[in-house]
Amino acid sequence: MAGRTGRRKGFAVSDQHHSNELPFWRQYIFSQDHKVIGMQYAVTGLLFLLFGFCLMMLMRWQLAYPGKPLPFLGNFLAESPVMPGGIMLPEFYNQLGAMHGTIMVFMGVVPLAVGGFGNFVLPLQIGAPDMAFPKLNMMSYWFYFIGGVIMIASFFIPGGAAQSGWTSYPPLSNIAPLGQTFWLIGMAFLINSSLLGSINFIVTTVQLRAEGLSFFRLPFFVWSQFVTSFLLLLAFPPLMAAAVLQLMDRLAGSSFFMPSGLVVNGATTPWAGGGSPILWQHLFWFLAHPEVYVLILPAMGIVAEVMSCNTRKPLYGYKALVYSVIFLGFLSFIVWAHHMFLTSMGTQMNSFFQITTMIISIPSVVILTTLILSLWGGSIRFTVPMLFALAFLPMFGIGGLTGLPLGLAASDIHLHDTYYVIGHFHYVVAPGTIFALFAGVYHWFPKVTGRKMSDILGKIHFWFSFVFINGVFMPMFIMGLAGVSRRLYDPVQYAHAQSVQPLNVFISICAWCLGLAQIPFIINFFSSIFFGKKVDDNPWEATTLEWTVPSPPPHGNFAKPPVVYRGPYEYSVPGCAKDFLPQNLPAGQAGAAEVK
Amino acid sequence: MNPKYYGWGFPIDISKHGWQIDQLITILHVFMAVLFIGWFAFFIYTIIRFRQRPGHKAEFHIKHFKTPTYLEAGVALTEFVLLFAFSIPLWHFFRNEMPPKDKSLQVRVVAEQFAWNIHYPGKDGAFGKTDPKLISATNPLGLDPNDPEGKDDIITLNQLHIPVDMPVIVDLSSKDVIHSFTLPVMRVKQDAIPGQMIPVWFEAKSTGNFEIACAQLCGLGHYRMRGFFIVESKADFGKWLDGQAAEKVSQ
């Protein structure tokens, strides 16, 4: 279809009546339309986010009231082997922990941010009829789906799901039960899904931009997805290699990650030895650090879109943002070993990674500063998406700042693998990225459905989420400073952890309240699909191309190929009657029709 | 354990050098707080001043701000001062500047699921040979019974006794999976990695009963991989060591 015959030819061959003739399963299930795939990704991603969060809410009971039977829900699980009498077993706790991380990162945030928003919005924003490779796009979603099914299925196999943390460090992961094999195979599907997606995004962005849409006229969201795709493309293959090596270690008896002379439970192991467990960490973090930026860059893109539209003015320093994002993407490949300061790297290596880590903070500071300065001189509408986008800024700020003591190796000695780390990266990803994703959901919902989500429910959702999410993650910094290790099934075994146990109770209560605060969102989301207020094609009065097509956009998106005449954020241009000029508005028309 | 050691901040610091880490963390948090508060105040001021209201219009042309550039340069400069003046020298000090061996106590710590084996060299000051093939229920470290240097070695489970005011070098390794040897009151943390022997050193300045914690997920019992870390006067430490030696002979 589109793109196969070269740039811009897609329109010539796309037959719009064709979509109506497709049977249901081709139109809505095995669809090749980027919008349907985007919705599939978004809904699946949201469901996984909810599921991953439920796992954590379950763990929070054990952390707040260790060894006490879980009330109510525990009665249903009392017969299960993982929670006899409603009391969680340590192996189940470790499964929940490992799967919470895996689900949130690989099956929740990335599919929603890249697969969901990227798929739906990017082709529309660049004026393309579809993605460059619609079949790869469909394959990408179904790989993701299969990966997800394998991950969920692993809870029900003997020994349960993976339980060696989302980082799966060997030798622990190599000697772990069957669930780890499922995890590796599931990851292989998720990795391939992301690879297919990333190639598609890169080609689409390069090849299918509308006439006149030069790179520096691209909305910042497209830039963020473009850079993200390069990160996915270049960072995931090493993890794929690592996953295959670990699979070989587990199934074929190789010893890539197994050193000589291991004695587990008083018995020697079947592995010949000679491998290195640190090799896994290098391969894993070579992916997983860029992965952090895969999580945060699309979020920044969404925030930039929402902010520019709701301040009614152009972004401040658009080019600085673009260059910073490119620089950030590049640097994200050379900071990985700051996750490994305590693995006895030499001082020189250590210093190298500290220096790159400090350097990477500079483009992050530039982006944050630029986004805040974008508010200056605006006329700020406090719509629901804008509230989430605004909250992203200080939350991401806290997440970034608390990275400093972890990025400096000396202070990391005390804080490494404590709750401080958990607080730090959750501030980046949860009230940071996930808030930005909520902003995106509220912002583009009218484009997807033709209806708006309720403002009142949206504001309830925002304010309660904002309060409780800080209640969850802020106390973790105190626990971290007190030296409490992460991943403890029973938090009161250690004397130094007992003193901060009241904080654990507080965090758990906040986490459950945060769970309740998502109910308005769920109600709002589903009821608005059917009963939401009907709105026109451009309810936010935005400038980018996706708002020039009908809501929901038809198959093939644009009736005729759009032509772009101006930059992405021409809001409040002096001398015009309207305060926004869509990108496809010819220069002459703006002058003749609108100058007073 | 004594609860006064621990509270809602740093645990008590009983090491000679740990204050440097605390100091760096404190400086960092002051720096972070200044940045965040200044920046948050600006943020709040901006969203109030530029809220949408009748008669207020957004500006299309915003003049270029110079101050943020200086601020960003200042932040970068501060980070590099913290890096080159504090972090790198400190790291070098803690990891590379090992105290002289003849003036310090050498101990091996071998982690396993879910305990800490503490191996003292005994009177001769030399560790006996070990071989993983010899590991059994009665010989947890696989000490070679034919090696004369191993005859007087003392091995304890989860009992790390050290003398006060004397540098201690711990050679850290693991029998099975990766653990992380943590002495919160000493500001010491180092991964114990199977196949590697990693030295880490510290020096206590006061006595007391504390704990060893594991910081790296190592399996089902990670949460209870708790060891005892006892800092004693030199005399008490000598007596304890003699007692252990006598117990070994009597077996």
Task: Please check whether residues B165 and B48 belong to one and the same domain.
Answer: no
Q: Which of B95, B125, B150 is the last residue of a domain?
A: B95
Which pairing describes strands B227-232 and B159-163: parallel, antiparallel, or unpaired? parallel
Task: Please check whether residues B128 and B175 belong to one and the same domain.
Answer: yes
pLDDT given at position A20: 59
pLDDT given at position A3: 38
Give per-residue pLDDT as tens, B29-45: 999 999 999 999 999 99
Measured between alpha carbons, how far is A80 from A268 in angstroms, rounded to an integer?
A: 33
Which of A88, A173, A380, A381 to mutate to test binding with chain B, by most B CBs within 10 Å of its CB?
A: A380
The answer to whether B87 contacts A410, with C-beta atoms less than 8 Å apart, is yes
Summary mean pLDDT of chain B? 92
Give per-residue pLDDT as tens, B88-106: 999 999 998 999 988 999 9
Q: How far is A189 from chain B (nearest CA, A)?
A: 26
Whether B85 is in a domain gets the answer: yes
Task: Please check whether residues B170 and B223 belong to one and the same domain.
Answer: yes
Give per-residue pLDDT as tens, B154-182: 999 999 999 999 999 999 999 999 999 99
Stated as kind and residue range, the H or E segment containing A520 is helix A519-531
Residues contacting A514, CB < 8 A, separation 6+: A464, A465, A468, A469, A471, A472
Which pairing describes strands A267-268 and B227-232: parallel, antiparallel, or unpaired? unpaired
**What residues does each domain of chain A span?**
534-596
Whether B6 is in a domain gets the answer: no
Q: Which of B95, B111, B128 is the last residue of a domain?
A: B95
B142 touches chain A (CB under 8 A): yes
Whether B11 is in a domain gets the answer: no
Selecting from A358, A481, A573 the residue whose C-beta is nearest the C-beta of B60 gives A573
Measured between alpha carbons, how far is B71 from B49 in angstroms, rounded to an integer?
A: 22
Q: Which of B95, B123, B143 is the last residue of a domain?
A: B95
Segment B123-135 mean pLDDT: 90
Measured between alpha carbons, how far is B78 from B72 in angstroms, rounded to an integer?
A: 10
Domain of B193 in residue numbering reads as 101-250
Measured between alpha carbons, how far is B120 from A108 in angstroms, rounded to an integer?
A: 50
A351 touches chain B (CB under 8 A): yes
CB A524 within 8 Å of CB A454:
yes
User: Complex ipTM, two decimals?
Assistant: 0.95
Which among A27, A43, A63, A199 is positioned nearest to A554, based on CA atoms?
A27
Which among A341, A411, A195 is positioned nearest to B21, based on CA atoms?
A411
Selecting from A263, A416, A494 the residue whose C-beta is nearest the C-beta of B226 gives A494
> Which residues in chain A have Cβ-Cβ distances shorter than 8 Å to B65?
316, 373, 376
pTM of the model: 0.94
- What is the number of CB-based contacts under 8 A between chain A and chain B? 288
Residues contacting A354, CB < 8 A, separation 6+: A338, A407, A408, A409, B83, B87, B88
How many structural domains comprise chain B?
2
| Cβ-based neighbour number of residue A594 at 10 Å | 14
DSSP state for residue B101 in the 8-state scheme: G
Measured between alpha carbons, how far is A197 from A227 in angstroms, rounded to an integer?
A: 13
Task: Please check whether residues B79 and B107 belong to one and the same domain.
Answer: no
Model confidence band, residue B2 (pLDDT cutoffs 50, 70, 90): low
CB A197 within 8 Å of CB A115:
yes
> Which residues in chain B have Cβ-Cβ distances shorter than 8 Å to A343?
191, 193
B45 touches chain A (CB under 8 A): no
Task: Please check whether residues B157 and B225 belong to one and the same domain.
Answer: yes
A478 touches chain B (CB under 8 A): yes
Task: Please check whether residues B89 and B108 belong to one and the same domain.
Answer: no
Task: Please check whether residues B109 and B76 belong to one and the same domain.
Answer: no
Measured between alpha carbons, how far is A410 from B26 in angstroms, rounded to an integer?
A: 12
Provide the residue-wise pLDDT of chain A in tens; the chain has 596 residues: 343 334 444 454 444 445 557 788 888 889 999 999 999 999 999 999 999 999 999 999 999 999 899 988 888 888 888 888 889 999 999 999 999 999 999 999 999 999 999 999 999 999 999 999 999 999 999 999 999 999 999 999 999 999 999 999 999 999 999 999 999 999 999 999 999 999 999 999 999 999 999 999 999 999 999 999 999 999 999 999 999 999 999 999 999 999 998 999 888 888 988 999 999 999 999 999 999 999 999 999 999 999 999 999 999 989 999 999 999 999 999 999 999 999 988 889 999 999 999 999 999 999 999 999 999 999 999 999 999 999 999 999 999 999 999 999 999 999 999 999 999 999 999 999 999 999 999 999 999 999 999 999 999 999 999 999 999 999 999 999 999 999 999 999 999 999 999 999 999 999 999 999 999 999 999 999 999 999 999 999 999 999 999 999 998 999 999 999 999 999 999 888 888 999 999 876 665 444 43
Measured between alpha carbons, how far is A310 from B104 in angstroms, rounded to an integer?
A: 65
Task: Please check whether residues B138 and B246 belong to one and the same domain.
Answer: yes
DSSP state for residue B216 in the 8-state scheme: S
**Residues A374, A375, A378, A379, CA torsion sign:** positive
Cis, bond preceding B114 (omega within 30 deg of 0): yes
Task: Please check whether residues B78 and B105 belong to one and the same domain.
Answer: no
What does the block give as tokens for A451?
A: 């209806």
Segment B106-124 mean pLDDT: 94
Strand partners, B168: B105, B202
B8 against B108, higher pLDDT: B108
Task: Please check whether residues B40 and B119 belong to one and the same domain.
Answer: no
Whether B3 is in a domain gets the answer: no
Measured between alpha carbons, how far is A336 from A280 in angstroms, rounded to an integer?
A: 12
pLDDT given at position A13: 44
> Which residues in chain B have Cβ-Cβ distances shorter than 8 Å to A572?
57-60
Which among A278, A191, A173, A194 is positioned nearest to A241, based on CA atoms?
A191
Whether B207 is in a domain gets the answer: yes
Interface of A with B in 21-80 (CB under 8 A): none
The CATH number of the domain where B223 resides is what? 2.60.40.420
Whether B112 is in a domain gets the answer: yes
Strand partners, A563: A211
Task: Please check whether residues B210 and B116 belong to one and the same domain.
Answer: yes
Whether B125 is in a domain gets the answer: yes
Whether B158 is in a domain gets the answer: yes
CA distances from B171 to A102, A262, B155, B181, B193 (A): 34, 17, 14, 11, 11
Task: Please check whether residues B85 and B167 belong to one and the same domain.
Answer: no
